[in-house]
Structure 1
Amino acid sequence: LAIVDEPDADARAALLNAQLATAAAYPRLTNHDGEGWHLHYRDDVRSLPFVLRAIISLGTSLHLVTRGMNRLGRCQAAPCTNVVADVTRNGRQRFCSVRCANRAAVRRHRARTA
């Protein structure tokens, strides 16, 4: 969440790089258990928290690199604090769900008509 809440792109990248350093290993091809060749971005550790940290860190990195460093934030519908991973074309997603967007629209409407 510190990565999500960091507004500065350089500081966000530094935080994410530090997390990747503790969670991931060098990418490599593997064919364990005869499952076919695929990439691993982590050491062969069976600990679920370690695996999840590596996968989430890598996914966050790929999202920010491909979509833009500003494409991660918090939902702007109070009191919601969910994370928003902006996947829109124009980069203006502000809410985590349609429900939160509708709630904010109703609040704005009621404020105008009051």
Structure 2
Amino acid sequence: MSAPVIQPAHRLVELANAVRADPALPRAELAALLVRHGERPADVRRDRLTEADAAALRAAAGRLADVLAEPDTDRAAEALNALLAECGARPRLSRHDGQRWHLHVDRGEDASWADWFTASSAHALAQLLSERGGLAWGACAAPACGRLFLALGPGSRRRHCSPGCANRARVAAHRRRHRPTPDG
């Protein structure tokens, strides 16, 4: 799995979880998250990532979170195709700000933050789905968790966001199975 696919997928999961935890996630926190995932601090200043941009980015993260939480591969693929079509995603080579040539999947250099985020995230998920032949992500099945996660390792499909959630779910299931019944 290549970094151009993994990096946007990790960025998506972190941003989607942050927006799910706080639907009004402040613009400054969105900017900090984007910087942690490789965006230049100058590109996320208040005059370049406005409050309106932040609102659109939060909405895009919410829509993509729905795809990450979708357990059905066919429905997830249909949703990804719709998002890619809606944001006008098309691959193109870009070189800006002294960087080397790299692939962008969006309308162009003037794409909005939300269009860029939707296009790059949907493309990353589509690439993962096509390479894996199924979903490589999910929402944690542990009660009261629901955090979104990537499942990029080998083996069977993960159901939990972390070993801690998996262990808590196993212990709870074990206790339910071995709970004494009222009649004995």
Same fold (TM over 0.5): yes
Aligned to 1:30: 94
SS at match of 2:156: coil
1:61 pairs with 2:126: yes
What is the Cα deviation at residue 7 of structure 1? 4.4
TM-score by length of 2: 0.53
Aligned partners of 1:9 and 1:69 also within 8 Å: yes
Give the structure, 1 or 2, with the largest relative contact order (CA under 8 Å, sep 6 or more).
Answer: 2
Deviations 1:69-106 (A, max 9, x none): 23333211112222233223123311011221121022
Flag the 1:24–1:100 CA change in 2: closer, same or farther, 3 A.
Answer: farther
Structure number with higher helix proportion: 2
Aligned equivalent of 1:91: 156
Q: Structure 1 unaligned runs (5+)?
A: none
Partner of residue 12, structure 1: 76
Query: 1:75 maps to what in 2?
Result: 140
Amino acid at match of 1:98: P
Question: Per-residue CA shift, 1:4-58, capped at 9, x if unaligned?
Answer: 4444433322211110112243212222344221211112126322222122111
Retained in 2: the 8 A contact 1:28–1:39?
yes
- Fraction of identical pairs, as percent: 38
Give the secondary structure class of the aligned counterpart of 2:144: coil
- The residue number in structure 1 matching 2:171 is 106
Q: Equivalent residue of 2:153, what SS? A: coil
- Residues 9/110 of structure 1: CA separation in 2 closer, same or farther (3 Å cut): closer
Letter in 2 for 1:38: H
Note the residue ranges of structure 2 that are not aligned, 5 or more in a row: 1-64, 180-184
Cα-Cα RMSD:
2.2
Number of residue-to-residue matches in the alignment: 114
Q: TM-score, normalised by structure 1?
A: 0.79
